[in-house]
Amino acid sequence: MLRATTGTALWVTSWPLAEYTKHEWAGAWVNSLFRNEGAGLSSELILAAVAATRYRWPDVPALGMITFVDASKVRKKRDPGRCYIKAGFKHVGETKVNGLLAFQLLPDEMPEPERAIGATAELFPSDSQSDHSPP
């Protein structure tokens, strides 16, 4: 989880085990939550969060990162997922169950790893940052 220093943006990356995933992108990192309330350009915040995720988990999954957008819940109905597209994500389909729009960022399109601004020591340090242990 990352929170903007202004306290007005929030990002959560999860890495669910593939065997417990019910969508086509099993094994990918999942952007589980993103909310921006005026902390800057959403696309820039997304890229910073992806860079921080790469810093935490250097072994990027082959499917990269996926996020899902409920088009019925976005303010600007004409372009759901716009901030993700501006950050380099590509629309890759929809979920079968809820019809959520799926956007994916592949590893070679990701920003370089970078420690999150203001990051402190790991809450749950591990010998290997590439496992599925909590950040």
User: How remote is the C-alpha of 56 from its chain's centroid?
Assistant: 13
Q: Which of 134, 101, 125, 132 is nearest to 27 (CA)?
A: 132
Structural domains in the chain, sorted by start: 2-109 (3.40.630.30)
Report yes or no on whether pTM surpasses 0.75: yes
User: Are 92 and 103 contacting, i.e. CB atoms less than 8 angstroms apart?
Assistant: yes
First to last CA, the chain: 8
Specify the pairing of strand 9-14 against strand 90-94: unpaired
Backbone angles phi, psi at 36, to 5 degrees: -125, 120
Which burial class, exposed, middle or buried, applies to 114 when counting CB atoms under 10 A from its CB (0-12, 13-18, 19+)? middle
pLDDT in tens, 41-60: 999 999 999 999 999 999 99
Helix, strand or coil for residue 133?
coil
pLDDT (0 to 100) of residue 3: 59
CB half-sphere exposure, 106, CA atoms < 13 A: 5
pLDDT in tens, 84-133: 999 999 999 999 888 999 999 999 999 999 988 766 656 555 544 445 54
Type of residue numbered 26: A
